[in-house]
Amino acid sequence: MAQPLTMTSGPRSAGGTRTAFLELQRHCTAAIIAPRRALRLRMLLKLRLFWPATPVTADVPARRIRLAAYTTETITPKYHEALIGWQKKNFPELTFLQDNWKKYYPTQTPYQLFAKIGKLQSETIGYGRMAGQSRVERAGDMVGNMFYTARDIIRAQASTELGSIQQHRLTLEEAPTDVMKVAILRIMAEELRHGYQMFWVFDADHSWKKPGHPDVATDTLDELLSMQLGNHVLDAFNIPFYNFLDNVIFATLIDLVGKYQLEMQKVFSYAPMARSMGPMLSEEGYHIGSGRGFLKELSVSATNGNGRYSIDEIQRAINVWLPRGVEMFGNERGGETAIAFGFKDRTNGTVQSEYYNEVRELIELTNVAIAQTLLRDISAPDARSLVREVQDTHEEQRGIAPHHLLMVPDVKFYRQRGMEEIAFMPYDVDGILLTENGKPLSGERYIEYLKGVLPSYYVKDSEFAKYSAALLGRQPKVGSSYGW
Ligand SMILES: [Fe+2]
Ligand SMILES: [Fe+2]
């Protein structure tokens, strides 16, 4: 379906093909590209409970076709080869995906590893101290903290892309269906391309090497190539996957954080980073759409009693990942520096609450599917009202009890980063501070509580051990902020 359309010129002349592609944007993808379309989709979701289709489905109707123009570039052979070597070691299954691409995605452009350089929404900086000035084309023109903060954000972004491939691979073979397995393979392949894209940001701009300073670009790229689970920049990318539920919940909740980060970074004052966001966002839509579709599928199977996982197991996996997702936005009170440098358009607290509301919406849609499975004759709007009633009253209605449904833990639950009053404080899944004799629950007792709401395999492993040790004061607590 994708075919060369026009020749455009990109920011550099070296390297890649210079072709703009006509590409189908799935409706779930389109929702994250155009705010007005997103609003319309949200209204549709509200009015008709329209569910984004699972990824491998029929063609998108013609009226949904959008133009996505970008040029492509490759990076210098040294790092191109290094990333291919990284892929062979960390993601050898890529060849299977490439060999079977046509079978699963007959209408979609075959996968290729290159950087996609999109268009800027505006030539000028939109936010912060330099608002109204031209965007910065050369990293070397950023001074002081701005230079290193930009480096930290791009490095963190790259680390998430590579880390998630290492995580997905751990449990890939447990996929319940071929469609699910291939979707995860495609997500991994696209994350690799996103990693490549971030490499391009460092590699294509020689001014990252400032006279008299260390070579920031090559130092960072070499570091990224050596990162393993355990030393990635953000916590969520150091948690090993235990079963396929992790692949699904991660794509649903953690890729959604990625969507918000990329959306914000479209305003990035350093132009090469901003140009990278559009093409990455459109791919991210597939990841989120896959996660939601599979979550719904697994939840309906669980409700029918013929699924691999129970609703309780799905809930426990959500309880592991949601707190890490909300923490990825950084301290709720922070984010001003990134705005001052023109890197982002919203503070941490604002974007975190937007994210949290979207999670609630998508889990509610899953619950509507569960309710419709239990009560075959109920309409979607009625199912939504019923779900809300059951969850608000904590009482069974028409045979549907709270334990039949999924819930979104409160933002304060099981936190290890963020505001002082919530990090390492004993909040339960409903956001109520657990107390004993008028005092917050002791660390030991909170650990017991957590064991009752997190997966049994998870609480036996190193991630939970680290949290417990920090909570009990046996290890220093992690810091309150991140470099993303
Ligand atoms: Fe990504
Ligand atoms: Fe993703």
Ligand 2 centroid–CA 60 distance in Å is 21
Confidence of residue 403 (pLDDT cuts 50, 70, 90): very high
Ligand 1 centroid–CA 81 distance in Å is 20
- The model's pLDDT over 66-117, given as tens digits with 9 standing for 90+, comes to 555 899 999 999 999 999 999 999 999 999 999 999 999 999 999 999 999 9
Asked if residue 339 lies in contact with residue 146, where contact means CB atoms within 8 angstroms, the answer is: no
pLDDT value of position 474: 78
- The model's pLDDT over 244-269, given as tens digits with 9 standing for 90+, comes to 999 999 999 999 999 999 999 999 99
Ligand 2 centroid–CA 281 distance in Å is 9
Percent share of the chain, pLDDT over 90: 80
414 domain residue, yes or no: no
406 domain residue, yes or no: no
Confidence of residue 242 (pLDDT cuts 50, 70, 90): very high
The predicted model gives 206-225 an average pLDDT of: 95
334 domain residue, yes or no: yes
Containing H/E element for 116? strand 115-117
pLDDT value of position 483: 58
Mean pLDDT rounded to a whole number for the chain: 87
Listed in sequence order, the residues at least 6 apart from 250 whose beta carbon sits closer than 8 Å to its beta carbon are: 164, 167, 168, 241, 291, 321
The predicted model gives 336-343 an average pLDDT of: 95
Ligand 1 centroid–CA 284 distance in Å is 6
Backbone angles phi, psi at 363, to 5 degrees: -70, -35
Query: Terminal CA-to-CA distance of the chain, rounded, Å?
Result: 36
pLDDT value of position 280: 97
Ligand 2 centroid–CA 394 distance in Å is 34
Asked if residue 289 lies in contact with residue 255, where contact means CB atoms within 8 angstroms, the answer is: no
- Of the ligands numbered here, which is closest to the C-alpha atom of 159? 1
- Of the ligands numbered here, which is closest to the C-alpha atom of 160? 1
Q: What is the DSSP letter of 415?
A: -
pLDDT value of position 69: 81
- Of the ligands numbered here, which is closest to the C-alpha atom of 290? 2
Ligand 1 centroid–CA 275 distance in Å is 15
The predicted model gives 280-305 an average pLDDT of: 97
Which residue reads 């914000």 in tokens? 264
State how many domains the chain has: 1
Ligand 1 centroid–CA 191 distance in Å is 4
Q: Among candidates 113, 116, 117, 110, which has minimal Cα distance to 80?
A: 113
- The model's pLDDT over 265-292, given as tens digits with 9 standing for 90+, comes to 999 999 999 999 999 999 999 999 999 9
Confidence of residue 221 (pLDDT cuts 50, 70, 90): very high
Ligand 1 centroid–CA 190 distance in Å is 7
Ligand 1 centroid–CA 189 distance in Å is 9
CA distance 187 to 168: 9
Residue 408: strand, helix, or coil:
coil
What CATH number should be reported for the domain holding residue 80?
Answer: 1.10.620.20
162 domain residue, yes or no: yes
Left, alpha or beta for 330 (phi > 0: left; psi -120 to 50: alpha)? left
Q: What is the DSSP letter of 215?
A: B
- The model's pLDDT over 310-336, given as tens digits with 9 standing for 90+, comes to 999 999 999 999 999 999 999 998 999
- Of the ligands numbered here, which is closest to the C-alpha atom of 276? 1
431 domain residue, yes or no: no
Ligand 1 centroid–CA 387 distance in Å is 33
C-alpha radius of gyration, the chain, whole number:
22
Left, alpha or beta for 437 (phi > 0: left; psi -120 to 50: alpha)? left
CA distance 475 to 197: 37
pLDDT value of position 34: 39
Strand partners, 436: 439
Ligand 1 centroid–CA 157 distance in Å is 8
Which domain does 358 fall in, by range?
Answer: 4-364
Determine whether 124 is exposed, middle or buried from the number of CB atoms within 10 Å of its CB (0-12, 13-18, 19+): middle
432 domain residue, yes or no: no
pLDDT value of position 476: 75
350 domain residue, yes or no: yes
DSSP track, 143-191: -HHHHHHHHHHHHHHHHHHHHHHHHHHHHGGG-SSHHHHHHHHHHHHHH
Structure tokens, 317: 């996996």
CA distance 293 to 52: 7
- Of the ligands numbered here, which is closest to the C-alpha atom of 191? 1
260 domain residue, yes or no: yes
Ligand 1 centroid–CA 156 distance in Å is 11
The predicted model gives 205-230 an average pLDDT of: 95
CA distance 156 to 152: 6
Containing H/E element for 42? helix 35-48
**pLDDT of residue 398 exceeding 80:** yes
